[in-house]
Structure 1
C-alpha cells in the first residue's frame, strides 16, 4: 500500500520528502493495531457459521484481529500474542481456556457460551435468551397467562435463576422453578406439570439444555401432551419451534456480535461488565400451533414463521 501511494505521488511530481512522508503514513495505517483480538476454535458446521456470524457483527463495532485455534487444543497451545489490541473476545469454551493466559495483560470477554466460564468467571454474553424478553413477548401474545413453569439444570442454567425470577416479577408472572439433573427426571416432571396445568393461565418455558430435552424422546412427549391440553410452550430455540413449540426468541448472531464488541470495548475503558443473557434476538412462531390454540398473532412481526407455506 505504501509503494502504491508513494508511486502515485511521484507520478504527480511532488517533492521526495513529501513522498517519503506519505509512504511512512501509509505504512503506519497498515500496521495499526486492531481494537479486538478475537479467538475462535476451528469447529465444524453449523457451529462454525454461528461463530463467524458473531465475528462479522463484531466488525461492525470494532476492528478485529482474528485468531483460530484447533478445537481440541491444549489451553496453552498455540501461544497467543498481543499486538496492541485493547480487549480479547473468546468465542466458545476452548477459546476462553486459551485466552486465560492473556488475562494478566488484557481484559478478556467470553461469547458463544451458555454459562459463565473461567476462574473468576469472565464477563460476556450467553447464547441463552434473556428471560425478560421471553416473558414480555409471552404476556403481549397471551395476556391471560399468570404462571410460567421452568425446569433447569443448575450446572448449566443456575446463573440465570435470579434474573429469571426478577424478570417474572417485572412481568407480573409467577415463576415455578424445578431443578432437575437429567432427561429422565425432566421427562417425569414435565409430564406432571402438563397433566395439571391450566390452559388459560399456565405456560411452560422449555429448556434449551440438550441434557434435559431429547429431540427424539422428551420433546415429542412434551409437545404431544401440550397439544392435547392446549398448553402454551415457548422457548429460546428456533429448532423447538420447528417441532411445534408456539414461539421462540433466539440469537441474532450478527447483532449479538456487534453488541458484544461494543460492551467489550466499554469494559476495556473501565465500564462494569458481567456475564449476561443475550438480548439481541430474532423471533419465530409456529403458525399451526397458534391456530390450534386459537391465537391470531401478527405474523409479519416475526422473523420466521413455521411451517413455511
Structure 2
C-alpha cells in the first residue's frame, strides 16, 4: 500500500478485490477520499448486510455522526467473511490508527476486538455479551433495560404484584441484578428462575402457570435458551390468554404474536448515545460510560387486542404512550 494518498478519482480502484468489495473508508459526511497518512480519531465499523438490517445500521450510524465532533472513517464488514478476510480488515483498521472504534453487530465487534491494545472500543448492536467482549471499553446492548420494562408494566397494570422470568445465566444473567433492583423500587416481587436449556424452561413455565393468578405477570427475555418460536412462545401465549395473565417481552416480534407490550430500539437515539460515548472517551472524560449497559433508547409497542382482553381502557392517552400499535390496521 502506498504511503501517500492516491488522487480521489483513482484511490478505490487501486485496492485489491477484498477491499473493493468490503471496505468503505472516508471522512464522515464529506465523501472525501481516503488519506492514508493521517490517523483518524474515530472509526465506525458495521456489517455490510441486506435489508431490512442495512437500514437499521444506517440509522444508527447517522446518529453516531450527529454526536461526533470529529471526522470518522467507515469500515463495512461482510457478515460472512472468513478468518483471513477478518484479519485483513483488522489490519487495515489498525493502519488507520484510530483512538476510538465504534463497532456494531457481531461482525463489527470481531474485527474491532482483534485490534492491538490501546484502542478504546465502543460496541453496539448486539443482544447479549459473548466471551471476549470484556475487551470492549463500553458495550451497548439491544436488550431493553429491565427498569423501563417494569415501569411500563406498573403503569399499565398497577394490580400486578409479582413478575416471573425464566432465564439462562449465559445469555441473561447480567440483567437479573438490575431487574431485581428495579422491581424492589417499584414494589414488585421478581421471581427469576434460572435454567440451562429449553427442556428445563418448559418445566419452569408449566410450574408458573400451575399457580399463576391475577397478580402475576410473565416476562420473556431475549434468551434462546428459554424462549423459542416453535415450542415456548405458542405455549405461553395460549396459557396467558386463557388465564388472563399479562405477558410482556423484550422482543418486538412477540407483540405481533400476542404479547401485551415490548420495548424496541430507537435506532437514531441509540446511535447518538454511541457517538456521545465515543466523544467522551476521546476527551478522556471520567463520565464516559464503561462496561455493559442495557438499552434505554427505546420505543414502545402495544398489542391492542391483548390489552382489550386484559380489560385495559384503550383511551387516546394510553395509546399516545406507544410508538407502535399492533395489530396494524
Q: What TM-score does the superposition give when structure 1 sets the normalisation length?
A: 0.84
SS at match of 2:201: helix
Are the aligned partners of 1:73 and 1:94 in contact in 2 as well (CA < 8 Å)?
A: no
| Structure 1 residue 138 corresponds to structure 2 residue 159 | no
Partners of 1:130 and 1:40 in 2: how far apart?
A: 23
Partner of 1:282: 299
Partner of 1:245: 259
Give the one of 288, 291, 296 matched to 2:308. Answer: 291
Give the one of 26, 43, 46 matched to 2:49. Answer: 43
Q: Which runs of 5+ in 1 are unaligned?
A: 1-25
Partner of 1:61: 67
Cα deviations by residue, 1:36-69 (Å, 9 ceiling, x for unpaired): 2111123344333322221122122124321012
* Worse-matched range after superposition: 187-196 or 245-254: 187-196
Shift of 1:301: 1.8
| Structure 1 residue 303 corresponds to structure 2 residue 312 | no
**Which runs of structure 2 are paired with 1:1-309 in the superposition (5 Å)?**
35-62=41-68, 63-71=71-79, 72-74=81-83, 75-78=86-89, 79=91, 80-81=93-94, 83=96, 85-117=98-130, 118=132, 120-122=134-136, 123-199=138-214, 201-270=215-284, 271=286, 272=288, 273-297=290-314, 298-309=318-329
Shift of 1:166: 1.2
Partners of 2:88 and 2:202 in 1: how far apart?
A: 41
Partners of 2:42 and 2:201 in 1: how far apart?
A: 41
Partners of 1:61 and 1:34 in 2: how far apart?
A: 16
Q: Which runs of 5+ in 2 are unaligned?
A: 1-29
Shift of 1:143: 1.0
Are the aligned partners of 1:113 and 1:127 in contact in 2 as well (CA < 8 Å)?
A: yes
Partners of 1:180 and 1:234 in 2: how far apart?
A: 19
Shift of 1:76: 2.1
Partners of 1:152 and 1:307 in 2: how far apart?
A: 28
Are the aligned partners of 1:102 and 1:108 in contact in 2 as well (CA < 8 Å)?
A: no
Q: What TM-score does the superposition give when structure 2 sets the normalisation length?
A: 0.79
Partners of 1:190 and 1:267 in 2: how far apart?
A: 43
Are the aligned partners of 1:38 and 1:67 in contact in 2 as well (CA < 8 Å)?
A: yes
Partners of 2:150 and 2:133 in 1: how far apart?
A: 31
Shift of 1:267: 2.6
Shift of 1:278: 0.5
Calculate the aligned-residue CA RMSD, in Å. 2.4
SS at match of 1:102: coil
SS at match of 2:200: helix
* Worse-matched range after superposition: 71-80 or 259-268: 71-80
Shift of 1:34: 5.5
Shift of 1:82: 5.1
Are the aligned partners of 1:58 and 1:64 in contact in 2 as well (CA < 8 Å)?
A: no
